[in-house]
Amino acid sequence: MEAAAIAQDEYLPWGDANYRKNPYPWYARVRVEHPVYKMADGTYVVSRYDDIMKFGKLPIMSIVDPEWVPKGPWAALSKTVLGFDPPAHTALRRRTNRWFTPKLVQEWVKAAESAVNEALDRLQPGAVFEANLELGVIPTHAAMCSALQLQTDNVEPVHAAMLKAMAALSAIADKEDDQRAAEAFKYLRSRSVELVAYKRQNPGDGLADALLEAEKSGEMTEDEVIQTISLFWGSGGHNPSFFVGAGIEYFARHPEIYELYRKQPESRAGIQNEILRLNPPELSFVRYPTEDVEIRGTHIKAGERVRFLLDAANRDPEVFPEPDKLDPSRPPEAAQNLSFGIGPHACAGQVISRAGADTIFRVISDRVERIELAGEPTYDVTDRSRAYVALPAKVSHAAH
């Protein structure tokens, strides 16, 4: 009964198809009536922007599952930044952060630029193509592979594996979801083992090489190296591609915004921020306080589960007036959208993700006069994450 109650909860019905398609009416209600809402399984859900900004990044909010939480398939990445709190997390994060500085990522995203140009070169006028794959997944994966100095090879199984893995993070994931995710992680690990073997035989000066040097010096174990490569190689084209796909879909549905983006470069940063605010690929994150905490008058005990709704915060009308509207003039500095998370566990790849999307959109706006949908997009959507399954489109090349 508890699982069914959670799936069809009055305020946040995680399993309802209409909710998954458009959760915003539910968010609007819960923000007003129960901004800190306790669900039937004991999870506390926090939905207001200011509360998430204040409490979501507190040092007491641990990413590490307490003993009472069953170990799921994501334990396959427990030896990465996803499995530790500071200071261990900080040390791991420092090891990879230096490869994702604004200066360095401009080198890595050249691979994304080449991939987009190659895709557009192949397109015949009016031809229908899979925009999520060709303009999103392949280019963003290529950028991450450039940073790692690893082969891009066939990216479709990687993206498929990540879809299965993300489904297991749903609040109502079942045994089948967990099994599919476990198979996905098994695939990602097997490919990462192969990639490590390749790097040992073909050394270079990329992030993967630095990880192997850390193993050689005793600073990392082989398992930690494999898991870290699985994380970055596997996810490098997943969440960033949703950002790109959401932009392509929006430009197709709102040609006036695309025209503004093309003709007024100064508007681009604001438009990108709005696309990202309205379309976060990950909708929430879970933490477990290591000591009792009170949020908006609600007492939460140490070790209880707290889910912070990033997607709801991104459309909090107290912070973003007319929150459902893409406003190109909305000042980027007015409020930080939370689509890449907050605090020490904010997305480790957000710098390369933003730079990759910016590069891809720039190439498209330089070369494409008009974007049209060639059918309705299909999505992989849970209460926890979003991704494109298909984004059929066609483009008209710009005259030069």
Query: What pLDDT band is residue 1 in, cutting at 50, 70 and 90?
Result: very low
Total domains, the chain:
1
C-alpha 302: how far from its chain's center?
Answer: 28
Tokens of 294: 């009170």
Given this model, what pLDDT does residue 259 score? 97
Given this model, what pLDDT does residue 343 score? 86
**Under 8 Å between Cβ of 344 and 64:** no
Q: Cα torsion at 189, 192, 197, 202 (round to 10°)? A: 180
- The CATH number of the domain holding residue 90 is 1.10.630.10
157 pLDDT above the threshold of 60:
yes
pTM (2 decimals)? 0.95
311 pLDDT above the threshold of 90:
yes
332 pLDDT above the threshold of 80:
no
| Each residue's pLDDT tens digit, 71-102 | 999 999 999 999 999 999 999 999 999 999 99
- Kindly give the residue spans of alpha helices, DSSP state H, lying in 254-331: 255-263, 268-278, 310-313
Average pLDDT over all residues of the chain: 94
One-letter amino acid at 308 equals F
DSSP state letters, 49-117: HHHHHHHTT-TTEE-SPPTTSPP-GGGGGTTSGGG--TTHHHHHHHHHHTTS-HHHHHHHTHHHHHHHH
User: Measuring CA to CA, how many Å separate 391 from each of 79, 248, 295, 342, 379?
Assistant: 34, 9, 40, 29, 9
| Each residue's pLDDT tens digit, 13-71 | 999 999 999 999 999 999 999 999 999 999 999 999 999 999 999 999 999 999 999 99
Given this model, what pLDDT does residue 234 score? 93
133 pLDDT above the threshold of 70:
yes
- Kindly give the residue spans of alpha helices, DSSP state H, lying in the chain: 2-7, 17-21, 24-33, 49-55, 88-97, 102-108, 110-122, 131, 138-148, 156-167, 175-201, 207-216, 222-235, 239-253, 255-263, 268-278, 310-313, 350-367
335 pLDDT above the threshold of 80:
no
Share of the chain above pLDDT 70, in %: 98
| Each residue's pLDDT tens digit, 169-211 | 999 999 999 999 999 999 999 999 999 999 999 999 999 999 9
State the average pLDDT over residues 252-263: 97
Lowest mean pLDDT among 82-96, 304-318, 369-383: 82-96
- Residue 77 belongs to domain spanning: 2-397
Cα 301 to Cα 292: distance, rounded to the nearest angstrom:
4
State the average pLDDT over residues 280-290: 96
Given this model, what pLDDT does residue 333 score? 62
